[in-house]
Amino acid sequence: MRAVVWKEPHKVVVEQVEDPKIQEPADAILRLTTAAICGSDLHMYEGRTPIEPGQVFGHENLGVIEEVGPGVRMIKPGDRVVLPFNIACGFCFNCVRQYPNACLTVNPESHSGGYGYAGMGPFRGGQAELVRVPFADYNCLKLPGRPGDEYEDDFVLLADVFPTGFHATEQAHVRAGDSVAIFGAGPVGLMAALSARIQGAAEIYVVDCVKERLEKVERIEGAIPVDFSQGDPVEQILDLRKPMREKIQNLHPGSGDKMPGVMCGIDAVGYEAWADDAPGGRQEPNQIINDLARLVNPTGHIGLIGVYFPEDPGGVDEDAKKGIFKFPLGQVWNNGISIEMGQAPVKRYNEYLRDLICNDLAKPSFLVSHRLPLEDAPDAYEKFDQRVEGYTKILLKPQQRAA
């Protein structure tokens, strides 16, 4: 079969690899109809995570079941399914507690598993024609309709970015009427903004400096784009909040002056953040957490859904290369701000988000910029990595052929 294979930093190729096979009774084989390129794939693409040449990429996978093992009961050949990027068993201590992102069974070296990703087990990814699905009954989410229908591009986003964006709002404790600041208008940041709207947030501010991304923010009802190339994003949001403070918060004496920021903050970028004074240039991994510490009100909440690895060969200094970052703990502690972080437990949310899509209450595919055949993946990775030509979210269609 054809697959997207990593060779070296900044180089992937499409080449023939061996077809996956049923290895365990609970396995299934999925034939891909859509596989997405994720921003977190770029960490591996750039060589900033430990990865061996030959890895097949792809953890956002949608398709039709082609074969099942003798132990599979609920999933049948011909079923249309989407796969959470977390591979999980469904029965270990963490899975039964609704933390499939920390499954203790599937990865012999760590507490989490995933498709085609460094450090997440011996599993090939789905930017290919076929992929093996362990524990298929647990990991497959059944979908209505047929491949290529009007929901195809929405459903593939249930593999990662839509549940991940929703989880970010849970990390940040977003509730009806809240004010929310989201740093990063990439796919996860946009899905966090959409999810904040679903959660009933009253104010949603989304920070970025890439024109195409900021334009997509405007497609989310009530979301306000904030371009940090035009000045300090914290000060911009504080200014934008003044009318709300004057209208509502000042009904409570002192709250307008002492609580000028937002109640919920989300970092949807991670350790590859750009410095506020060098948009698109110098990386500053502490930038967003420092901004959030300044912006989130006392007793507020922060969700760190952006990736922070314990090892980064391309880190800006020796500490960053070891996953050690300076953090304004004193300020955050003094303000009583809670912080939650880590991978999203996709299966906790994907069924409910699927039902929102099916009832036309959410259309996450508005963020998709490109739909390409598998052969175009190397060029798409290069352009996505450089943030050029409007490459915001790329879907690969393995059953299509390049012109």
Enumerate the CATH 3.40.50.720 domain ranges in the chain, comma separated.
164-341
Which structure tokens are listed for 157? 């986003």
Residue 196 pLDDT: 98
Domain spanning 164-341: CATH 3.40.50.720: yes
Amino acid identity, residue 366? F
Residue 30 DSSP label: E
Residue 400 CA: distances (Å) to CA of 5, 11, 128, 171, 372: 18, 22, 12, 38, 8
Residue 256 pLDDT: 67
Residue 402 pLDDT: 63
Closest alpha carbon to 242 in 217, 205, 211, 209? 205
Residue 90 CB coordination number (10 Å): 15
Q: What are phi and psi of 190, to 5 degrees?
A: -65, -40
Residue 400 pLDDT: 84
Q: In what order do the strands lie in the sheet with 296-304?
A: 223-227, 203-208, 179-183, 262-267, 296-304, 338-341
Cβ-contact 265, 301 below 8 angstroms: yes
Residue 319 pLDDT: 78
Cβ-contact 61, 81 below 8 angstroms: no
Closest alpha carbon to 364 in 145, 158, 94? 158
* Sequence-distant (≥ 6) Cβ neighbours of residue 265 within 8 angstroms: 172, 180, 181, 182, 183, 292, 295, 296, 300, 301, 302, 303
Enumerate the CATH 3.90.180.10 domain ranges in the chain, comma separated.
2-160+345-397
Per-residue pLDDT of the chain (403 residues; tens, 9 = 90+): 999 999 999 999 999 999 999 999 999 999 999 999 998 899 899 888 888 899 999 999 999 999 999 999 999 999 999 999 999 999 999 999 999 999 999 999 999 999 999 889 999 999 999 999 999 999 999 999 999 999 999 999 999 999 999 999 999 999 999 999 999 999 999 999 999 999 999 999 999 998 999 999 999 999 999 999 999 999 999 999 988 877 776 677 766 678 899 999 999 998 888 888 878 778 888 999 999 999 999 999 999 999 888 877 777 788 777 878 888 999 999 999 999 999 999 999 999 999 999 999 999 999 999 999 999 999 999 999 887 778 889 999 998 876 5
Q: Report the CATH fold assignment for 2-160+345-397.
A: Quinone Oxidoreductase; Chain A, domain 1 (3.90.180)
How far is residue 382's CA from residue 388's CA, in Å, rounded to a whole number? 9
